[in-house]
Structure 1
Amino acid sequence: MRYSVLMKFKFLFTATLIAQLAQPALAAEEEVLLTITGDRIELISDVQPPDDADDLVLRYYQLLPLALQESLQLLRHRMDRRMEDYEVAFAAGDTAEINEITDDLSAYWTRIQQIHFEEFTPAAMQDLGAAYAALYFLIEG
């Protein structure tokens, strides 16, 4: 019986301590107080402006590990194929197909942005976003 009371006390003490330590990390409106960028890839600034948006994207992606490069290359390939499908569906006026294609494109773009967020600084992400907007008219820059 005494052991049980002691365990409850330890649990409550630990829970209270954790709650007090975690509280300062939250702002009044739960805004982000700290962003840790670690070893993210910074904005490419030591080279001349690229000839086109595709070159810029490729230069950034060459800085990534090979597995991520391949993953992003596959996603871009899928986006290219679906953009071709979009043009055909748009010309045919097939709204159901257009909706399906835009859903696919949105999923690919979301995954690409997730990788960008994990691997690049905000400035580099903005640069990449502008390049993608130039490559794909359905993406806002």
Structure 2
Amino acid sequence: MKFKFLFSATLIAQLAQPALAAEEEVLLTITGDRIELISDVQPPDDADDLVLRYYQLLPLALQESLQLLRHRMDRRMEDYEVAFAAGDTAEINEITDDLSAYWTRIQHIHFEEFTPAAMQDLGAAYAALYFLIEG
């Protein structure tokens, strides 16, 4: 009887450890060094200029990474138009998968570097630049 109690107590203690550890895990870290909404933007600015103005506020390595992703998106958008005109659904699916992957990487950088208001502004600009992106 004593052995069963000791075994049960040990088993419960071991099962409870991960639950306690999960409660102590850091789920969200908020930092105050994200780039804010650009407030001096006049409505006539086009979407490309707006994106470039935000990106100029980033470190050079991130600027280059985002420039490369945008270049790849531009190339795939051209491919999309050709595939759409040809009615090539397999190619269209492949292109939209690529575009989705590029957009996801861009959004991840936006999430790390910009405030929610700036991200919304950037999202609207990208929607104006790429008709496949919802704003």
For the aligned pair, the TM-score class normalised by the smaller chain equals: 0.7 to 0.9
Distance in 1 of aligned mates of 2:106 and 2:56: 15
Residues 52-91 of structure 1: per-residue CA shift (max 9 Å, x gap): 0000000000000000000000000000000000000000
Runs of 4+ residues over 6 Å off in structure 1 = 7-34
- C-alpha contact (below 8 Å) 1:42/1:124 kept by paired residues: yes
Shift of 1:36: 1.1
Say which is worse superposed, 23-32 or 70-79, in terms of deviation. Answer: 23-32
Between the aligned partners of 2:60 and 2:9, the Cα distance in structure 1 is 43
Whole-angstrom CA distance in 2 between matches of 1:42 and 1:133: 20
Residues 47-56 or 22-31, more deviating: 22-31
Percent identity over the alignment is 99
TM-score of the pair, normalised by structure 1: 0.75
Q: In the alignment, is the contact (CA less than 8 A) between 1:82 and 1:105 conserved in 2?
A: yes
Partner Cα distance (1:38, 1:15) in 2: 45
Q: Which runs of 5+ in 2 are unaligned?
A: none
Determine if contact 1:43/1:123 at 8 Å carries over to the other structure. yes
Shift of the alpha carbon at 1:23? Answer: 12
Q: How many residues align?
A: 135
What is the root-mean-square deviation in Å for CA atoms of aligned residues? 6.0
TM score, norm. by length of structure 2: 0.78
Question: For each residue in 1:81-123, what CA deviation from the matched residue of structure 2 results, as whole angstroms up to 9, or x when unmatched?
Answer: 0000000000000000000000000000000000000000000
Question: Retained in 2: the 8 A contact 1:26–1:33?
Answer: no
Q: Unpaired segments of 5 or more residues in structure 1?
A: 1-6
